[in-house]
Amino acid sequence: MTVLRDLPKLASGKVREIYEGPDGTLLLVASNRISTYDVIHPTPIPDKGSVLTALSTFWFERTAGILSNHLLSVTDGVPDEVRGRAMLVRRLEMLPVECVVRGYITGSGWKDYQATGAVSGIELPAGLRESDRLPEPLFTPSTKAEVGHDEAIDFEGAVELIGDRELAERVREVSIALYQRAADHARERGIILADTKFELGLDSAGALTLGDEICTPDSSRFWPADQYEPGRSQPSFDKQYVRDWASSTGWDRTPPAPPIPDDVVARTREKYVEAYERIAGEPFDAWLRRTDARPRP
């Protein structure tokens, strides 16, 4: 049996870690940490890491026909203590671009559109409002910053970084297809997937492969469809209670973030679980049981 402390830790992100698994594999572990305004709160959201892992697994299974992915297992080889919130994956040679796809105009895309009328070098119609649906999903890549924020680039910038125009064209094509598949599915279940970020790589045979997490609330914007109203910023499906509460405290968004009160934690946990249950169409407990994350009765 594998225990986490026996695995070398390769990297720590703000909300997750990567370990070296058996036989050249990697173990991606999602924590229960949550950030607002890019700052991690000291209070965890119970089950957040499991919900994100469950969602990625759901999408990996349902998009494998578009692009193969790095997922190997969420049970075999996964240490007991992280069951439910960890996946064993194949090691890839990651491409040096973030594959952002936008179906709606918001965030930095909205900022760029207001300043230039274009996003990622793509001219857009005049008169778009904040949060409007785009005429078609756009591939708007960015660089991978080691520290600080990724920088938006146009498709030619992605071609240069990837170093192969045909590969970059395939990256753009599959990124849009993956977004389309996930966004259509989520929309039918009352969640607007406004935009998302994929990380692609090459496997040991040189095949283009989907890595990292896919269409989770940490890599995407989830909006409640029944509250969608263009012309303003949209509430976040998952983080809105934390943001509203944090704003009400007068916190100025500089570190350290304040601890989150119990009722806000509980309501936020429920929103993550609700997102999983709506999208996957099964009780979240079914995931925990399938991954042996909870003792069986």
The one segment of 6-14, 72-80, 129-137, 169-177 that binds ligand PZK by CB under 6 A = 6-14
Closer CB to ligand PZK, 61 or 270, in the complex: 61
> Binders of ligand PZK among 79-98, rule CB under 6 A?
89-92, 94
Residue numbers 52-81 binding ligand PZK by CB under 6 A = 70
How many angstroms separate the CA atoms of 190 and 222, rounded? 10
Site string for ligand PZK, 166-205 (x = CB under 6 A): -----------------------------------x----
Provide the CA 128 distance to its chain's centre, in angstroms: 26
Least separation, in Å, of the C-beta of 18 and ligand PZK? Answer: 4
Count of CB atoms situated within 10 Å of the CB of 275: 25
- Measured distance between the N- and C-terminal CA atoms of the chain, rounded to whole angstroms: 22
Which position among 212, 218, 238, 277 is part of the footprint of ligand PZK (CB under 6 A)?
Answer: 212
Question: Could you tell me which residues come within 8 angstroms of residue 212 by beta carbon, excluding any fewer than 6 positions away?
Answer: 28, 70, 198, 199, 219
**Token representation of residue 46:** 């119970």
Enter the tokens of residue 110: 């909205």
C-alpha 297/C-alpha 154 separation (Å) is 53
Helix axes 48-63, 165-188, angle to 10 degrees: 110
Q: Which stretch binds ligand PZK (CB under 6 A): 13-21, 33-41, 168-176, 234-242?
A: 13-21
Instruction: With contacts defined by CB under 6 A, name the span among 16-24, 180-188, 271-279, 284-292 that binds ligand PZK.
Output: 16-24
> Closest approach of Cβ 146 to ligand PZK, in Å?
11
For ligand PZK, the closer CB: 91 or 133? 91
Integer Cα distance of 225 and 194 in angstroms: 10
Stretch that binds ligand PZK, among 8-16, 54-62, 230-238, 276-284 (CB under 6 A): 8-16
Q: Is the four-CA dihedral 236, 61, 45, 22 of positive or negative sign?
A: negative
Task: Check if the beta carbon of residue 194 is closer than 8 Å to that of residue 223.
Answer: yes
In the complex, the residues that contact ligand PZK under the rule CB under 6 A are 11-13, 16-18, 26, 28, 70, 89-92, 94, 201, 211-212
